[in-house]
Structure 1
Amino acid sequence: MLKILKDAKLGTKFNLFLMTVFIGGILVSGIALSRVLEQAAQQEMTSRALLLIQSMNSVRTYTSEHINPLLAPRVETEPTFTPETVPAYAATEVFEDLRKNSDYSNFFYKEATLNPTNLRDKADDFEAKLVERFRSEPGLKELSGFRSLPGTESFYIARPLAITKESCLQCHSTPEAAPKSQITTYGTENGFGWKLNEIVAAQVISVPSGEILNNAQRSLSLVMGILIAIFTIVILLINLLLRRTIIRRIRRMSKVAHEVSTGKMDIDFVDDTNDEIGALSKAFGRMKSSYEIAMKFINQ
């Protein structure tokens, strides 16, 4: 390799250097830009998820503070349970209505519970692991990451849900303490045995990540294409400048020097620039003059 570089012409060596810088610059730029765009995409997904979680929490709070007090008496007197009194039910129903909009059809919300009263809230294997981790790490307030859902790849944010009010235990402590309408509607097998301050569920919001990541990838491809085009143009311009200002002039000097070395003294080193190569040309011209004087002296 060293011998090849040693025997290579100046233009080839310079091009190899430029190509090395070009490839290194593209790789470093690509890696850095990819990380920046990935972080930006994740921030966008996080912002969407947090906005939806806050919205669902507002629905839960409104249901707990305003709807539940109004409908609670019906739970004791009606033959069937009134699920609208339950904050989790209200939040889930509101979100399902939101998903009817095509822009949100691939968004998912679930208060995934290990032992739910309503089996539609039953945690799957992935969600059960989230609940168990929240239980094993009481100080953990949030988990996030990517998961596969039917038909889409999603970014999720999960937060623990714990029993913080004694009133909640009326429906979830024992079947004997639960309202009769609840037993009639849901039976006595599920949703009991909960304890105060126990983490019983994970509030999970999932937003589709494919479109956002694809947009980031397209942005990366576009910027990298622009960078490659700019680097290519710069290399071509540098090559053109190199040939015109250095290589062509050195070749001309080399040709004149060869002619002089064979005894042709009617040719001159002509370069009227004041740069380093111009100075070298003038030095060669003086050397040629000294050579001519020396030859005349020897001949005499």
Structure 2
Amino acid sequence: MLKILRQSWLVIFLLPLAASICLFYYSYQRQQIISQASKETEIFIATAEATRLYVKEVLRPKMYKIFSDERFIPEAMSTSHVGREIMKRIGKHFPYMEYKRAAINPRNPLNKADPVEIEIIDRFKNSKEKELTQLVLRKGVMCFGRFRPIYAEKSCLKCHGDPARAPKELVEIYGKEGGYYYKPGQIVAIDAVYIPVGQALANLKKQVVSSFIFGIGLLFFLVFSIRLLLQYEFLPRLRKLSIYLGSIIPGERFKNLSADDNVERITSSLEDLALEVKRAHRELKKSEQKYRSLFESSQDTILMWDQSCKLVDINPAGLKFFGFINKEEALSIETIEQLFWDHQDALKFIDKLKEKSQIKDWETTVVNREGKRFQVLVTASKAIEIDRLILYVGLFRDITEKKLMEKHIITTEKLAAVGQLAAGLAHEINNSLSVIKCYANLLAKSNSKDTQALKDLEVIKKHVKLCQQILQNLLNFSRPTEYKKDRVNINDIIKEVAELFAARLKKREISLSLELSPDLPELFLDRDKMKQVFMNMFLNSLQAIDKKGEIIVSTYFDYLKNQVIIKIKDTGCGIPQTIIDKIFDPFFTTKAPGEGTGLGLSVSYGIVKDHGGQILVESQLGQGTTFTIILPVEMTV
């Protein structure tokens, strides 16, 4: 019996459901039929009442004015007669509608109330209701009825009061038996409108019963079809699945089960499998939370992208590093290649990662949304590979400051080495140059009349002097220098140097723009040494511009870092990236012979370094160069 109930559970469940649906449908449609009938009766009864009021308030008074002898014409002055006739004519257009002015003691026998209507009149007398609606059985047909009470008014007593005073026309037609002795405020009749709904309700019942029977037949058909499907399609596969699951999750509980009890076997296997999945899910969730915590809290940039190089995730540190407003903006970029400064380097990185599945400490340059470049070390690997889904994760560590520090150390070491070399050689070479210069002067005196000889001797003396200047620069470069520091405004030094170069700039048609912040704090530094730095910078920019260019010098105060920033930007030829790391090396120059010694930037670098500052350079070949001098305020007090 239990097995039969278990196999028939779908039928047992669906039968009450089908019955409930049919009952709900019947109830809803029945309410719709009654609602429609209610709307129609409301229109008809409102028409009857409007007719009665029009006769009482307009037509009857007008007729009394026309006939001064108090003549009474029922066809025009009786509210009952006019209302009945108008509703009779409306009924020709709506034959299913029945109107009646029902009274207990009517003047006209046609208006005699039946038992139902008498009951309705009594209900109005015993309550304060102004209208009633209900289903009533009328002439063997179920109808929807709407009823409104009619009260006697003072104006009604002329015809319905004392029969001795009633209009003779009415007495001659209806006599003196019914419709008299009304009192004001008394309910004397009701307006009743009936619309048959019995046939519609009967049709609805037939429709619902037919639908229920059809639904039951369809239900049995579906259950039988499903049973066949289960027996011949699902159960064979279920047997295979139960055997497979039994092999995955073996246990004592399977030994006592019959071979045909596949549902029990699969249920037991799935329960164990569900517990195993739940445990694995819990472990996976813990692992995911741990990964997400590391991902979100990491101070290094972490990116995740798919096999098409489309970015799929980025941590908060990455948003800040690349300058994205939010994650949505970051994920909107086409590919991660846009984050690399060199597109070819990006392609090499992606190809190697796809080939090796992992990369460690790949050094490259990336760019943020503002175009600022950073040097980074990238460690990346294939994180997920499921079917066609492949995800890569990469950690980008910013080594820009580290690289700058390494360059600074290398440059410092080079300067120290050159200083030591210069200190040893400058004195010996300078002695030899002094001897050459002395003998050149003696030869000039002894050959004062030989013009060609004098010219040649002047060339010798000129180059001796140039060599001595170079040696003096080397000595100055190698010796520890005493700085005469004082409080100065860096803007004043820049303006002074700008005035010195004004004529040369004008001659070369080079414009100079000074964008100097008036809010700079005074710095404690050596005025002459810093003037030498800016003269070297101006000279470099002047020599880099062939003709018609621009030099822009700007200053501002970084309140957060407490630093004064000076930028010297020119529109010259620019510096190739292959040599930009060498420009601060002593004696390194790209100028023609005789135009420079290669010590200007080295000396400037040393002066700024001795003031606790930095010199940075950015350049694009053919577009210009920008030197940035950073002087910390806290170290200049």
- More strand by percentage: 2
For residue 200 of structure 1, the aligned residue among 188, 201, 208 is 188
What CA distance in whole angstroms lies between the structure 1 residues aligned with 2:177 and 2:187? 20
* SS of residue matched to 1:26: helix
Partner AA of 2:118 in structure 1: A
Does residue 109 of structure 1 match 2:99? yes
Matched-pair contact (CA < 8 Å) for 2:99–2:192: yes
Q: Offset at 1:279?
A: 1.3
What CA distance in whole angstroms lies between the structure 2 residues aligned with 1:136 and 1:118? 25
What CA distance in whole angstroms lies between the structure 2 residues aligned with 1:55 and 1:199? 20
* SS of residue matched to 1:100: helix
What CA distance in whole angstroms lies between the structure 1 residues aligned with 2:21 and 2:247? 42
TM-score by length of 1: 0.72
State the Cα RMSD in Å.
3.0
Where do 1:1-300 residues align within 5 Å? 4-5=1-2, 8=3, 12-72=4-64, 78=71, 81-101=73-93, 104-137=94-127, 139-150=128-139, 152-163=141-152, 165-221=153-209, 224=212, 227-228=215-216, 231-232=219-220, 234-236=222-224, 238-244=226-232, 246-249=234-237, 271=240, 278-280=244-246
Matched-pair contact (CA < 8 Å) for 1:63–1:85: yes
What CA distance in whole angstroms lies between the structure 1 residues aligned with 2:122 and 2:19? 42
Matched-pair contact (CA < 8 Å) for 1:107–1:208: yes
Q: Name the CA shift for 1:186/1:75 in 2 (closer, same or farther; >3 Å).
A: farther
Q: Give CA-to-partner distance per residue, 1:228-254, whole Å, 9 cap, x none.
A: 46645653454244324553356xx5x
**1:259 match:** none
Which shifted more, 208-217 or 178-187? 208-217
For structure 2, list consecutive stretches of 5 or more residues without a partner in the other structure.
256-637
Matched-pair contact (CA < 8 Å) for 1:106–1:152: no
Q: Give CA-to-partner distance per residue, 1:156-196, whole Å, 9 cap, x none.
A: 11111112x32111111111221222222222111111110
Matched-pair contact (CA < 8 Å) for 1:175–1:188: yes
What CA distance in whole angstroms lies between the structure 2 residues aligned with 1:97 and 1:105? 10
Partner AA of 1:248 in structure 2: P
Q: Offset at 1:146?
A: 2.1
Q: Name the CA shift for 1:168/1:28 in 2 (closer, same or farther; >3 Å).
A: same
Q: Offset at 1:31?
A: 2.1
Matched-pair contact (CA < 8 Å) for 2:11–2:219: no
What CA distance in whole angstroms lies between the structure 2 residues aligned with 1:95 and 1:229? 50
Matched-pair contact (CA < 8 Å) for 1:147–1:154: yes
Matched-pair contact (CA < 8 Å) for 1:76–1:181: no
Q: Name the CA shift for 1:198/1:247 in 2 (closer, same or farther; >3 Å).
A: same
Q: Give CA-to-partner distance per residue, 1:82-117, whole Å, 9 cap, x none.
A: 23312222221112122234xx32321111112222
Q: Give CA-to-partner distance per residue, 1:127-147, whole Å, 9 cap, x none.
A: 11111121121x122222222
- More helix by percentage: 1
Matched-pair contact (CA < 8 Å) for 1:75–1:181: no
What CA distance in whole angstroms lies between the structure 1 residues aligned with 2:15 and 2:148? 44
Which shifted more, 151-160 or 209-218? 209-218
Partner AA of 1:154 in structure 2: C
Q: Which has the larger radius of gyration?
A: 2
Q: Name the CA shift for 1:239/1:70 in 2 (closer, same or farther; >3 Å).
A: same
Q: Name the CA shift for 1:86/1:218 in 2 (closer, same or farther; >3 Å).
A: same
TM-score by length of 2: 0.36
What CA distance in whole angstroms lies between the structure 1 residues aligned with 2:196 and 2:95? 9
Matched-pair contact (CA < 8 Å) for 1:37–1:220: no
Q: Name the CA shift for 1:277/1:41 in 2 (closer, same or farther; >3 Å).
A: farther
**2:390 match:** none
Q: Name the CA shift for 1:282/1:180 in 2 (closer, same or farther; >3 Å).
A: same
Which shifted more, 194-203 or 139-148? 139-148
Q: Give CA-to-partner distance per residue, 1:174-228, whole Å, 9 cap, x none.
A: 1122122222222211111111011111111100112332343355346546754
Matched-pair contact (CA < 8 Å) for 1:49–1:206: yes
* SS of residue matched to 2:164: coil
Q: Give CA-to-partner distance per residue, 1:5-25, whole Å, 9 cap, x none.
A: 2xx3xxx44441011012111
Q: Offset at 1:77?
A: 5.5
Q: Offset at 1:57?
A: 1.7
**1:291 match:** none
* SS of residue matched to 2:92: coil
Q: Matched residues, percent identical?
A: 24
